[in-house]
Amino acid sequence: MAVSTHSVPTADQLPVVVVGAGPIGLAAAAHLVERGLEPLVLEARPSAGSAVREWAHVRLFSPWAEVTDPAAEKLLAPTGWVRPDGAGCPTGGEWVEKYLQPLVAVLGDTVRYGATVTGIARSGRDRIVDSGRDEQPFSVHIRPADGHEERITARAVIDASGTWSVPGPMGADGLPALGEKAAADRVSYRVPDLGDLAVRARYAGKRTAVVGSGASAFTALAHLADPAEDEPGTHTVWVLRRGIGASTFGGGEADQLPARGALGLRAKAAVEGGHAGAVTGFRTRTVDRDGDRLVLVAEDGRRLDPVDEVLVPTGFRPDLSFLSEVRLGLDERLQAPTALAPLIDPNVHSCGTVYPHGVGELSHPEQDVYLVGMKSYGRAPTFLAMTGYEQVRSVTAAIAGDREAAERVELTLPETGVCGGAGLFDEPDAAQGSEGGRCCGAPASLQTGTGAPAASGGC
């Protein structure tokens, strides 16, 4: 009796699946191409850079020289592409138009759109099974746009899907405040584009609460100060879970990313100019209705005056649901890789300075699966694109078997110039940064290896 057979591809014939076609996912694909490996980028939405497109109106902290990946630039060079002026900081829209779209065009069919990843596992092995586990390729389950199910076999997986789809809630306990979901028509988790007349009309002449103390909250405060200049009744209530101190507004002129420092100063000017009033130590428990307006109620019973709109830029979280069958080593607080978590933990420091890292900090008990980019930071903030580019350079080298390159550092990162050191809660005796304003054990200079990017420009 004849038995039909078919050849099974070997591991080196299988693609490396990259989840997400954002800046870091596309950079991973470029590095894989440079290494002679086949990438397959799976993007759930109909275009690349979908998250960036949603904040197209927001300007990056970093100049062009720091938001384009070296391997991607090499891939683009034969097309005649030239990096825009390295000293200028692009908006999200400019980043997409002048860099991500040309890069996607070069990558061509290696990027697949409308492909939602629903699960990743070892072929024939759930997370319990040890036997022969490391020898099995990955089984990547996807749901294409037409709704049918499909399975792809991969030699390795790089998850660069980011955190944009899971914004943090208003509630101080990490859960939505009571009434928050019911008030969804008046609550937004994104920085509004006030250049859009319809969006501007939603906030102009209104009273808006901004909940949060990070860069996105600064951006919202700065943007809302503009209509306050010429639209009577426009006012912002800035709701902070902690107090205001010397480092609340960031590093200012000491920040090595001038645009980041300037943003904090703009937010400070909005408060000092009377366009925004700050309410400190306010941890939201409930969102009540007062007619067509909302009233925020704190854990300690305080009630704010009614507001028309609420912006909640309180950060983002990783979606780990499709990774339940692979063995990840994640910090129990941040949901970041365990070796990376101490470097970025806001309970320990608030400066955002983290030394360059790669495969050593990003490895998991499951071999050949990596979380990179914003997703690698879990719930921690202050991620820079150039950090992600260094991450994918390292992990793609590891996948290719070049351990020496994987473990080599090829990056210099700018510092914030200041560190509050108090972490997530104000502590009376919290350290205010170590000698020279640095903290976190980061040395004064981290310029090692080769290929360090140009110094930050003054955007």
What's the pLDDT score for residue 257? 67
CA–CA gap between residue 421 and residue 349 (Å, rounded): 4
On whether the CB atoms of residues 92 and 58 are closer than 8 A, the answer is yes
Query: DSSP letters of 187-201?
Result: EESS---TTSHHHHH
Supply 35's token pair. Answer: 């290494």
Kindly report, residue by residue over 384-423, the tens digit of the pLDDT: 899 999 999 999 999 999 999 999 988 766 655 444 444 5
Q: At 413, phi and psi to the nearest 5?
A: -105, 140
Non-local CB neighbours of 344 within 8 Å, separated by 6+ positions: 334, 336, 354, 377, 380, 382
Supply 417's token pair. Answer: 């110039």
Question: Any idea what the Cα angle at residue 124 is, between residues 118 and 127, rounded to 5°?
Answer: 70
Kindly report, residue by residue over 100-148, the tens digit of the pLDDT: 999 999 999 999 999 999 999 999 999 999 999 999 999 999 999 998 9
Kindly report, residue by residue over 328-364, the tens digit of the pLDDT: 999 999 999 999 999 998 887 655 567 789 999 999 9
Percent of the chain scored above 90 by pLDDT? 68
pTM, 2 dp: 0.87
